[in-house]
Every structure is written in structure tokens, then in C-alpha cells.
Chains A and B, each alone.
Chain A
Amino acid sequence: MDSLNCRSFREAALEADAPREHARECSACAQWLRRFEQREGVLRSLPRQLAPESLGGRVVAAIQAGERQARAVRALQGLGRLEQPAQLEQRVQDEVAGEAAEKANEPLQALAGRQLAPAVLDRLVAEELSDPSKARVARFAGSVPRLKAPAELEQRVAEELARPCRLALALLGELEQRVAEELARPARRNSGSAWWIAAAAALVLATLAPIWILGESRVRPFRVEYTDSFASMSPMSRGLLESASSGMFGRAAAESDASGAARDSR
């Protein structure tokens, strides 16, 4: 391919009436010419876009906006220039003199006002560099404010403590104490009554455990009350024990109390 001929041919081919003999001898230029003609044909065949109807309205709006703007500019240009007030020159001179004095004092002021870095900065920077995420968390966590307990909390706690489960816990504690006493003093109690007390305690425990598990998901505070005898227990506790042991606990306790009283009288 003769590059000079090809280049001049291609430049000339851009004009519609240029001679095209070179393309018959040069296959590369023939191919180029074919693509050029295709491209030109496609570009020329692109459909003409007609202006939409809305353009007229927009032009009117633009003209009116331009008019308003021109009016505003004319109005601004019509404003007369104001004469400078007489004291302006004096004020400028004062201002310039004041600035010059300030500039002269700047280095001294800068030295006097310089703050030294606090000692803790070294540690903070070291922490930041060694573990940035941890340092960030520490910074933010330290700035989180401590919340005060709302007034409603106290009331809710009081309500929570007054729930029925408290009674069951009190009974359970009472029972534990009683069983411990009975087991510690075998001579005073006959062995039968001790076994009855133990069996009753186990039964009560088995009955109350599901209530405890289902009703409570967290540990609640409870109160332990110590009693000397079955008779000194609260009526509700006695009733619960008797019903749980089918009345046997009540009878055994009564017999035990009676024999104890007889022994004491002797």
C-alpha cells in the first residue's frame, strides 16, 4: 500500500466529488471507501427530529424571563453612584495602621499563646496507632452518658415482688429450715415423723418447681422466715403442707408436738 497515495485519497474522499480511481488498485482503500460510504449513508439517513409543540411555550417563557432579567439589570444600572463619605479615608488609614501594628506583634503573641501537648497524648496516639478500632471504641464508649434509673422502675420492682411466687418461695424456705431442724434432733422426734416431713418437702418441691421454672426466668429476691414449730407457721403454709401430704404432715406434727409437751412436763 502506498501510504502517501492512500492518505491523499482518503482525505479527498471526504469530499463527495473527489476522484476514486485509487480504490480500484488498492484493496485496503477500497475496503475503507466501502465502510466510509456505509457510514456516510447511515449518518445522512438519520431521521430529522421535528421540534415538539412544547418548544413554542418554552421559548415564550424564556423570552419573558429574559425581559424581566433585562428590566432588573436596567433598574440596577439606573441606580446612581454614591459619593464616598468624608470620613472613609481617615477610617481606612486607621485600619491599615492597626493591622500593621498587629502584624508586628504576631510572632510574640504566637509564642506566648502556644499550648504544650499534654502527657496523655503520647499514650493516646500509641493506642490509636497500635489498634485504631479499639481506640475508637474506647473514645466513644467513654463519652456515652450514664443513664439514671427512671422513677417507674421502683414501682415496677415493688409490683414484681408482690407476685404469688414470693409466697411459694417463703414456704420452701420455711420447709428447708424445718427439715434441717428435724434431722439435726433425731432424739426429740421419732424417725417416722422426720421421714414424713422429708417426703412432704420433696412433694412440695416437685409441685412448685414447674411453677418456679415457668413463672420465673430470672432470680427473684425472697425472704426466709424461721419458725419454732408447725403451730407457729402461718395458716396458709400449714394448709398447703397438709394438703400436699394428704393430712399426714399435720397429724405427725401434732403427735410429735404432744409427745414433746408430755416429756417436757415430766
Chain B
Amino acid sequence: MNSDPDAKLILACQASRMTGLDGPFRELYELYKDRVYNVCYRISGNPSDALDSAQETFGILFRKLGEFRFESKFSSWVYRIAVNASIDLRRRNHSRKLASLDAIQESRDSMARAPGRFDPHDERVEMPVHAASRHELEREVQRAISRLSPKLRAITILRYIENLSYEQIAETLQISIGTVKSRLARAHDMLDRELTPVLDRYYLG
């Protein structure tokens, strides 16, 4: 009996004659789209490249799903494809610094989705000054992540943003648990240098 939680869905996909984004593959897409996009976004560092990487990831999934033999967890396989697609795209676009029109449109969309009116008496609503400070911190953290090497970046994201265990990370990246630990320690050393002044400023004011 297969222990993979997605096994039933995968088998359904493999049994059906997939012609596009419908049927069981649509279900699979809905299940993984946010996770894939999130990993792609954190590795590539911008929404435009994240969209390209996520698109490529699902394209590969569609083409290769028939060959998946449950030798690892399906989620690990998906994460591996997403990580590799993002790193490849980032490497290809390394010299490209300008934000694309897609990125501008994307940021406009996200602004349009944001609530339009600020109510200072609503306790659920964050004060603008705190929100601005938090956004600034987020940007600094993302910048520090982007400065890590691709290997360290992938491990940091899978560990702290996707909350994967060491075993899952090892399976996803096809490395040993010892390598996962040592890479994570190196990532922390680098992030410590990058983020200590930022965190001191944020926490100590």
C-alpha cells in the first residue's frame, strides 16, 4: 500500500488521458499551486520570475507525471522541480536587473486586492506605521535570502517557509541529512551577518 498522501490523485492523473488543466490534474494543480509559487517567489525574489518558474514547474509536472514511480514522496518531487526551475531561471536572468512589465502589473494587482479603507478603531487592522516597518523587515529578510547561494537559499526556504523536516529536505534535494544540517548552519551564519543589524533596528527601535 502506498503511503504517499497524494498517491490516489497521482494514480488518477496517470490513469486519465490528460489533455490540459482539467480533471485530476486540475485538482493536483489547485493542491500545489500556492506551495509551488511560494517556493518560486522566495527563491527568485520577484513575482515575475516566480510566475515563470511556477509555470515551468507545472509544465514539467504535466509532461513527467506519467513517469513518476513513487520512489520518493510526490511533494518532495514537486518541490525539487520547483527549486530547480527557480534556480535555473535565476541563473539565466542573473544579468537582468530591470523589473518586467509583468512585475509592475502584478504589484498593481496586489495593491488593487488590498483593502481600500483604513479604520483606526478596528483592532484587527494593523497600524500603518507598524505595517510599513513590517514590510521593510520583510524586504530586508528577502534581500538577505537572495544573497545566499542557491543551495543555501533552497534549504532555508524549505526549512523555515515550507516547514519541511530535515528528512523531507534531504529527500527533496537528494542529499544526506548531515549535509542538510551543515548547509543550514552555514545559511544561519550568513543570515546572522546580514540580518543582525536589521533585527536589532527592528526589535530595539
Interface of B is mostly: helix
B42 contacts A52, C-beta separation under 8 Å: no
CB distance from B28 to the nearest CB of A (A): 11
Decide if A35 touches B199 in the complex (CB within 8 Å).
Answer: yes
A50 touches B161 (CB 8 A): no
Question: Is residue A58 within 8 Å, beta carbon to beta carbon, of the partner chain?
Answer: yes
A40-B54 Cα distance, complex, nearest whole Å: 26
Produce 1/0 per residue, A31-56, CB < 8 A to B: 00001101110111011111110111
Q: Is B150 an interface residue (CB 8 A)?
A: no
Give the contact stretch, choosing among B5-13, B56-64, B87-95, B114-122: B56-64
Measured between alpha carbons, how far is A42 from B138 in the docked complex, in Å?
8
Q: Which residues of A contact B29 (CB under 8 A)?
A: 56, 59
A46 proximity list for chain B (CB < 8 A): 42, 138, 141-142, 160-161
Q: Contacts A38-B203, A46-B42, A52-B47; is A14 near B185 (CB within 8 Å)? A: yes
Interface size class of A (residues with CB under 8 A): 20 to 34
Which residues of the other chain, B, contact A65 by a CB distance below 8 angstroms?
Answer: 59
Is A60's CB within 8 Å of the partner chain B? yes
Q: How far apart are the CA atoms of A111 and B33 in the complex, in Å?
A: 70
A70 at the interface (CB under 8 A from B): yes
Give chain A nearest CB distance to B68 CB in angstroms.
Answer: 16
With A46-B138, A47-B138, A49-B38 already in contact, the answer to whether A62 and B156 are too (CB < 8 A) is no
Contact status A62-B58, CB under 8 Å: yes
Given the complex, which residues of A lie within 8 Å of B203, measured CB to CB?
Answer: 38
> Of residues 154 to 212 in A, which have CB atoms within 8 Å of B's CB atoms?
none
Closest to A42 in B: B141
Complex interface: chain B residues within 8 A of A38 (CB): 199, 203
Q: How many residues of B contact A (CB 8 A)?
A: 41
Whether B21 pairs with A59 at a CB distance below 8 angstroms is: yes
CB pair B37 A11 closer than 8 Å: no
Question: CA A44 – CA B29 in complex, angstroms?
Answer: 24
CB A154 to nearest CB in B, in angstroms, measures 57
Specify which chain B residues have a CB less than 8 angstroms from the CB of A50 in the assembled complex.
34, 37
Tell me which residues across on chain B come within 8 A of A43, comparing CB atoms.
Answer: 141, 156, 160-161, 191
Q: Which of A14, A56, A66 contacts B62 (CB 8 A)?
A: A66
User: Which residues in A have their C-beta under 8 angstroms from that of B185?
Assistant: 10-11, 14
Distance in angstroms between the alpha carbons of A51 and B41 in the assembled complex:
9
Using an 8 Å CB-CB cutoff, how does the interface string of A75-93 with B read, 1 for contact, 0 for none?
A: 0000000000000000000
With A and B bound together, what is the CA distance between A199 and B185 in angstroms?
A: 110
The residue among B42, B161, B166, B181 with the most chain A CB atoms within 10 A of its own CB is B161
Separation of A10 and B38 alpha carbons in the complex (Å): 29
Q: Are B195 and A51 in contact (CB under 8 A)?
A: no
The 6 closest A-B pairs by CB, nearest first: A62-B59, A43-B160, A51-B37, A51-B33, A58-B55, A59-B58
